[in-house]
Structure formats: C-alpha cells, structure tokens
C-alpha cells in the first residue's frame, strides 16, 4: 500500500509530490503522534524549532526555519522516511528493525540512524504464561504466536527453526512451522484468551507483563528512541543542521558541568574521576598549589563523582545544568 497516497490526514505529504502547497520547499521532520507533542518533547523546543500545533492537525509549520513537522504513528515513520517522503524522523529502533526486516539488502531506499536519543528504552521480548510449562523459545516452534511485530517475529522464529534443524538461515522461501498472527493492540491478552501460546511484545518496566500473568523467556531486540534520516534527503545541509541541534539537546540532557578546586598534586586522580567528554579544562589559581577544574559528567553519575572528588580533597564542588551544547 502507498501510505502517502492513502493518507487523508497528512495532505502536506502529497504536496511534496504535487507542488500544490507552499510547503514543498520545506524540510519535513516527523515525530510520533501518540507520544510527542510541542509541550512534551524537548527536541524541538531545545533546538529552537518554533511552531504551534493545532489540536486537530497532524501538521505544523515551523516559524523560524523552512521546516514542516508531521505527526505520525511511530510504526509508519520508517516507511515515510525510507521512501524519501520525509527527511528526518524520531521513532523506536524496534520500528526501524520491523520495517527493514522485509527490505532487500540491495534496496537503495531506506533510513540511516543518526542518533540514539537515550530515552524510551525497552525490550521486544518473547513472553509466555508464567504458570505454564514453556521455559525456552524453542518450545514455541510450531505453535501460535501473537504480536504487533510480525516481521521481526518471523525472522526470529525462522532462525530458531533453522538452528533446530541444523541448517543455515536462508533468505526465505521456506514456510514457517510457527504460526505468527498480527494483533494491533492488547497483545498481552492473547494467551489468556487462548489465541496464542506465546507473544512477542515490548516490555519497559514489566508491570503490564506481570499483571497479565506472563514472563519473558527471550529478547528479540533491545530498543530505544532514535533519530533517523532518509538516504536521499531533500536538503542535506538543513537535515544536518537539525540533527546537530537535536544532538546538542540530547547531550545537554545527559550531562552536567562539574566545577571544583583541587590541589595540583592530586590533579591526576581528579582527572581520572572527571575525564570529561574529551578532556577536563584546568585553570591555574593564584595559589600555585591549586587548580580549578571543569568537566562534563554524566548526570546519572554526578552524586558518586562528587563523593569521589571529596575523598581526594577537592573543594568548592559546583554542578551546573547544561541548557544546550555542541559536542562531538
């Protein structure tokens, strides 16, 4: 199905092809409609992408850059970006893998991963009833599996079946013994309803899985939110500019700036504690025996770093929030 021509909610997508709209000269950037809005996502705000999204529209024109934002289901984003209809997109690595599982290695279309956004981490896992007798994914060969990720599930069980038969996995042609069924939502209910012997579904905290009486027995793929771009962007320079801005925002969220004073004789130990992204900044103080040090530190490690600095005699330890950055 041509998703672009079938879409009635995103007329701007057709505009690029028909030239029927003033947005044809704009770079197209897409966000998941369900999980990201102008208010909740730090990426456009921190990147100085200024826009207003009307509540009933999936399109927003950026005021200060030649960009149009498109809000799409996360599962559709790899298709739009891969076909070159959208230049940049944010989606899950699992969605990209699901899309690419049926692509030919020689296909010139597709997407490139630009940046791991370091949020939305979860796992696509094989799950079975907790009180059942199945303890390994091999026991599900030939049985019924329900999932929203049919391509990845078929790929996973094709490998299991080939290994069980002592054969190498080939490009296809052989019918799977395992029955993969698609369900768009409430996948975790499939086992309880007798529809499936096991499921393949995303697990974040595991609470939903446990509440449904399920347990994970294998991981198909670990995933997180990523920034992807088309292999044939309409404006490569603008795409690189947007990507650099988003990278700067994500880095700023991940790190803080740690500043402290330490005796020069203990500088080597201090550098080992705060190596920075490239190297710490060291400045001499009026007291020849002391130096001031600045270094970027991962936010999640800062408490331990401060403890370690204190243990070697560092003083005046300050931590500053980083609003934005350009680091490579």
Q: Is the pLDDT reported for residue 56 higher than 70?
A: yes
Q: Is the pLDDT reported for residue 277 higher than 60?
A: yes
Do the domain assignments include residue 294?
Answer: yes
User: Which segments of 142-280 are extended strands (E)?
Assistant: 144-147, 179-182, 198-203, 214-223, 225-230, 255-263
CA-wise closest residue to 176 among 155, 198, 158: 158
Q: Residue 113: phi, psi to the nearest 5?
A: -75, 125
Q: Are residues 132 and 168 in the same domain?
A: yes
With cut-offs at 50, 70 and 90, classify the pLDDT of residue 1. very low
Do the domain assignments include residue 280?
Answer: yes
Mean pLDDT over 228-240 rounds to: 91
Do the domain assignments include residue 306?
Answer: yes
Q: Are 245 and 48 in contact (CB under 8 A)?
A: yes
**pLDDT at residue 7, as a whole number:** 40
- pLDDT tens-digit profile of 178-223? 999 999 888 999 999 999 999 999 999 999 999 999 999 999 999 9
Q: Are residues 152 and 78 in the same domain?
A: no
- The H or E element containing residue 96 is helix 93-100
Q: Is the pLDDT reported for residue 229 higher than 90?
A: yes
Q: Is the pLDDT reported for residue 323 higher than 70?
A: yes
Q: Spell out the residues 6+ positions from residue 105 whose beta carbon is closer than 8 angstroms to its own.
A: none
Q: How far apart are CA 68 and CA 58, in angstroms?
A: 10
Q: Are residues 286 and 309 in the same domain?
A: yes
**pLDDT at residue 17, as a whole number:** 42
Total residues found in the chain within this entry = 328
Q: Are residues 107 and 133 in the same domain?
A: no
CATH code, 147: 3.40.190.10
Q: Are residues 61 and 185 in the same domain?
A: no
Do the domain assignments include residue 315?
Answer: yes
Q: Is the pLDDT reported for residue 95 higher than 70?
A: yes
Q: Are residues 108 and 197 in the same domain?
A: no
Which range, 49-63, 171-185, 268-282, is most confident? 268-282
- Domain final position from 205, 234, 263: 234
Instruction: Please state the pTM of the whole predicted model.
Output: 0.79
Q: Are residues 219 and 140 in the same domain?
A: yes
Least confident of 6-10, 43-47, 293-297: 6-10
Range of 282's domain?
255-321
Q: Are residues 198 and 229 in the same domain?
A: no
Which two tokens mark 25? 């000269």
Q: Are residues 64 and 189 in the same domain?
A: no
**pLDDT at residue 164, as a whole number:** 85
- Percent share of the chain, pLDDT over 90: 63
Mean pLDDT over 160-175 rounds to: 70
- Domain final position from 203, 223, 243: 223
With cut-offs at 50, 70 and 90, classify the pLDDT of residue 166. confident
Domain count, the chain: 3
């Amino acid at each position: 199905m041509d998703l672009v021509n079938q879409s009635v909610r995103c007329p701007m997508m057709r505009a690029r092809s028909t030239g029927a709209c003033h947005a044809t000269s704009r770079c197209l950037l897409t966000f998941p409609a369900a999980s990201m809005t102008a208010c909740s996502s730090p990426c456009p705000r921190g990147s100085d992408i200024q826009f207003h999204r009307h509540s009933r529209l999936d399109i927003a024109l950026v005021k200060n850059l030649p960009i149009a934002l498109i809000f799409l289901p996360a599962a559709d984003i790899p298709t739009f970006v891969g076909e070159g209809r959208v230049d940049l997109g944010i989606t899950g690595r699992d969605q990209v893998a699901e899309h690419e599982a049926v692509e030919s290695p020689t296909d010139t279309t597709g997407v490139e991963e630009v940046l791991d956004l370091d949020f939305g981490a979860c796992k696509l896992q094989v799950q079975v009833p907790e009180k059942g007798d199945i303890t390994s994914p091999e026991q599900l060969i030939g049985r019924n599996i329900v999932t929203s990720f049919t391509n990845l599930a078929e790929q996973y069980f094709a490998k299991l079946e080939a290994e069980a038969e002592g054969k190498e996995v080939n490009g296809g042609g052989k019918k799977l013994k395992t029955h993969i069924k698609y369900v768009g939502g409430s996948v975790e209910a499939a086992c309880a309803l007798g529809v499936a012997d096991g499921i393949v579904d995303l697990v974040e905290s595991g609470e939903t899985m446990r509440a449904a009486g399920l347990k994970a027995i294998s991981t198909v793929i670990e995933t997180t939110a990523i920034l992807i771009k088309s292999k044939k962007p309409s404006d490569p320079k603008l795409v690189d500019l947007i990507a650099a801005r988003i990278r700067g925002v994500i880095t700023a969220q991940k790190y803080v700036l740690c500043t402290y004073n330490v005796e020069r004789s203990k500088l080597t130990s201090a550098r080992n504690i705060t190596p920075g992204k490239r190297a710490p900044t060291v400045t001499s103080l009026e007291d020849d025996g002391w130096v001031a040090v600045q270094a970027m530190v991962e936010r999640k490690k800062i408490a331990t770093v401060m403890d370690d600095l204190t243990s070697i005699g560092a003083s005046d330890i300050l931590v500053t929030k980083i609003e934005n950055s350009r680091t490579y």
